[in-house]
Amino acid sequence: MDKLTAMATFVKVVETRSFTLAAKILELPKARVSQRIADLERVLEVRLINRTTRTLSLTEEGKSYYERCLHILHELGDIEGTLRLKKTNPKGKVRVEILAAIGQHVIVPNLHEFKDKFPDISLRIGCSNRISNLYEEDIDCAIRGGTLVDSSLVAKNVCNVHFGLYASPGYLKASPPINTPDDLAAHRKINWFFSESHRPLIWQLNLADENIEVPGPYDLLFDESELAISACVAGAGICPGAPFVVASRVASGELCPVLPQWCFPPRQINIIYPSNKYLPIRVRSFLDWAFDVLKTNDTLNLMPRDLTR
């Protein structure tokens, strides 16, 4: 038995929840797929999948083994993809969805470097905060915030962003002083929705071991963070923002940090892509390039207090 092949088959059965669909995708007879799973269970001496005439469900051992298989196959795919990349000149189209702020402030300003390195790859880039379905919309990869909930996708964490609070100098001058989070109750608050939850960002402020949740209501609520920050610059109130997004506005004097020693819980930024064992070279090229750009961008790791220096 080829164990890696059997593991890949097991993963495909779990993802499709069907021996029939897995066989169709793998272009194998259904009996071959069933035999691979049976051989795997025989070698491991555990049952991985409970089978009935209508449904499949993983045993506890199956759930644990599935997670291990994903990790091993992803690592193997990364190694093989990197080796193949060195031997080829990637060509073709890559469709990417990027979190709007990351696209505007990090990825787009560096795209000329990608095109210099990979002139034969054509990129189609969407910059928004909506959550797209990679499979249904034929998207090759995405750069998103938050945690991954879809086990059929891979998430490579590149950084954690710490939001802080900001306001315009004019607003602060005309408003009561702010020395503690409790003082925020007397101020106008601007907020926005997170796309994946369709709920407003929770104002949870952390300082060392102290955690304080600042309740609403919010005087202005947007579905785009950039619009919320624009309202903040205009003097409409206090607004959360990522340090890498507002850094230039703080430097120019348009915004001032509010309670800069306090920050929101870290928010993950991930590169998301389908859990195929073999990614097309053109997609691998963009993934590796984007990962390096994000990982080496120091502004993404700024804390709110850093903008006061």
pLDDT in tens, 238-251: 999 999 999 999 99
Q: For 140-152, how does the pLDDT look when each residue is reduced to its tens digit (9 = 90+)?
A: 889 988 776 666 6
DSSP string, 229-256: HHHHHTTS-BEEE-HHHHHHHHHHTS-E
Average pLDDT for 67-85: 73
Which residue would you say has higher pLDDT here, 88 or 282? 282
pLDDT number for residue 182: 93
Q: In whole numbers, what is the pLDDT of the chain averaged over residues?
A: 86
Query: Which pTM value belongs to this model?
Result: 0.68
**Does residue 257 carry a pLDDT above 60?**
yes
The pLDDT assigned to 197 comes to 56
Question: pLDDT at position 139, please?
Answer: 85
- Confidence at 280, pLDDT banded by 50, 70, 90: confident
Q: Which pLDDT belongs to residue 242?
A: 94
Q: What's the confidence (pLDDT) of residue 235?
A: 96
User: Residues with Cβ < 8 Å from 185, sequence gap 6 or more?
Assistant: 214
User: φ, ψ for residue 275 (rounded to 5)?
Assistant: -85, 40
| Backbone φ and ψ of 194, nearest 5° | -90, 130
For helices 60-85 and 281-295, give the axis angle rounded to 10 degrees: 90
- List Cβ neighbours of 115 (8 Å cut-off, separation of 6 or more): 121
86-123: string of b/e by CB count within 10 Å (b at 16+)?
eeeebeeebbbbbbbbbbebbbeeeeeebeeebeebeb
